[in-house]
Chain A
Amino acid sequence: MPNDPYKTLGVTKAATTEEIKKAYRKLVRTSHPDLHPDDAGAEARFKAIGAAYDILKDPETRARYDAGEIDGLGAERPRRQYYRDFANSTENAYQQGRGFGSNVDPADIFAEILRNRARSSGGDTFGGRGFEAPGQDVRYSLDVPFLDAARGAETRITLPDGQSLAVRIPQGTEDGQMLRLRGKGAPGYGGGPAGDALISIVVRPHPVFRRDGDDILLTLPITLDEAILGGKVTTPTIDGPVGLTVPAGASSGRVLRLRGRGISRAGQKTKGDQRVELKIVVPPDPDAGLRAFLSDWRKTHAFDPRADLLKEAGI
C-alpha cells in the first residue's frame, strides 16, 4: 500500500503507542531539516513521518486507518518554513556573525577573514562574531515606586548623554530584577548590532504595602469594638480601597486573605492575594465609660491568653 504510515515510521501493525512514539522521535532526530541543514531530502522525509505520526499517534485515527476508512496521506500539514531557510537571511537577528553584506569593500572582507582566523586559532570560538561585533551592553539602575512595580508603568530614564529612553516596567516587577532593552546599549562595531541596555530595578519601599512574591502584605488597624463584634471595614489594596469583613472575635495578628487582590503578571492566570494582618488599636484616651465597663468585666471573667505561653516557656 502506498503511503503506509507503519512503513514510514518503521513499525509493525502490532506496535504499541509507546513504540510508535519512540520510532517517531528517533526519525525526528535523524530527519528534522533544522537539525540537518545540509540534507536536501530531510524536509520531504520529515513531512512524511509527520503525516504518518499524525495518523498513528491517536488510537482513534489509527483504528480508522486500520479499518480502511482513511488513507495513509493524512491531513495535509500546513506548509511551513524551517528555521534553516533563514540561515542566510538578513532578517535573521539570531545569528551572531551577520555575514559580509553586499556593500562592503572586498579588500576589507579578506582582511576581516584573516583577522578572524588569527583570532580563532588563538583559542577563541570560531563561527561566532568576527566581521562585525555587537556593541557593549550598558547597565543602568532605576528606582521604581512600589506601586509602579506592582501594577506596571511606563517611565523614562535619562542617559548620561542627555537622551532619554522609554522603559516599560512590567506588572509584578520585583526588586533587583533586570530589564533588557534590545539595541539600546552601545552602538556596534563595523555595522554590528547595538548592545542592550540592562536596567536593574530598585523597588522603593511603600509606607503601607509590603510584598511577598505575588502577595501583598498589609497591617490594618481595627478598633476594639470591631475586633470583638466584627464588622465591615475598608482596606486599601494596590488597586484601590475594598471592603473587608472582620469576623467577630478577631485578635491582633489574625491574617485575612483577599483573594486575587495581589499582583498579576503577564502570562500568568492566577493573581496573588492581599494578606491583611489585623492590629487592634485602642483609643488614645479611653473614656470613663469604657474603663468602668472593663473594670467590671474583669471581675467576672477569667481569660488568660498568656496561660499557654507561660507553660510553654518552661521557666
Chain B
Amino acid sequence: MTERFSEADVVTTVTRLTRSQLFRFVEAEFVRPERDGDGFVFTRVDIARLELLCDLSQDLELDDTALDVILSLIDQLHAAKQEIETMRRAIAALPEDLRASLADAVKRS
C-alpha cells in the first residue's frame, strides 16, 4: 500500500521546505508528483527525494542546473546498481562449474 501525501503534508514533513520551493521543484520536474484535480499527490519516494533536494540546495547551495545533473546521475547510478545486483543474484544461483568458467571469462576480458 503506497502512502500518499498532500502538498500540506509534504511541507510539514520536510520542515525545511516552503510551499513556494516545493512548487519550484515540481516546476523544474525534480520531483514529479501525480496531479490530482487542483493539487499534487506525493509518495514516500518524493519525500525522500525532496529531503535530498533540500540538503543539496540549502546545505551545499547548489543551483538548479547542478541539482538537475546530480539527480540524473544518482538515478542512473541506482539503475546500474540494480542491474548489477540482479546479475549477482543470478550468478550466485548458478552451479559451481558455471560460476568458475564465468570467473575465468571475467579474468580474460
Contact = CB atoms under 8 A, between A and B. Distances in A.
Contact of B45 (A35, A91, A97, A127): A91
A182 B59 CA distance: 31
A93 interface: yes
A189 interface: no
User: Taking chain A's interface residues, is the majority helix, strand, or loop, or is none over half, making it mixed?
Assistant: loop
Contacts of B83: 97, 99, 113, 127, 130
Given A113-B87, A182-B34, A95 B78 contact: yes
A81 B55 contact: no
A127 B80 contact: yes
A168 B51 contact: no
Contact of A93 (B20, B45, B80): B45
A84 B51 CA distance: 11
A83 B27 CA distance: 20
A44 to B, nearest CB: 16
Contacts, number: 104
Interface residues of A, number: 43
Contacts of A168: 35, 37-38
Interface in B67-90: 70-71, 74-83, 85-87, 90
A266 B76 CA distance: 32
Contacts of B61: 25
Interface in A88-120: 88-89, 91-97, 99-100, 106, 109-110, 113
Contact of B60 (A28, A113, A125, A127): A28
B99 interface: no
B47 interface: yes
B32 A182 contact: yes
Contacts of A268: 20
A132 B84 CA distance: 16
Interface in B9-48: 15, 19-20, 23-24, 27, 32, 34-35, 37-38, 43-45, 47-48
Contacts of A113: 83, 87
Contacts of A110: 90
A97 B87 CA distance: 14
A115 B24 CA distance: 39
27 contacts: A28-B60, A29-B60, A34-B74, A81-B44, A82-B52, A83-B45, A83-B74, A84-B78, A85-B48, A87-B78, A91-B45, A94-B32, A94-B75, A95-B75, A97-B83, A125-B76, A126-B80, A127-B76, A127-B79, A127-B80, A128-B79, A130-B83, A181-B35, A182-B35, A267-B19, A267-B20, A267-B24
Given A91-B2, A91-B43, A94-B49, 11 more contacts: A25-B61, A28-B59, A28-B60, A37-B81, A80-B51, A81-B51, A83-B51, A97-B79, A99-B86, A113-B87, A267-B20
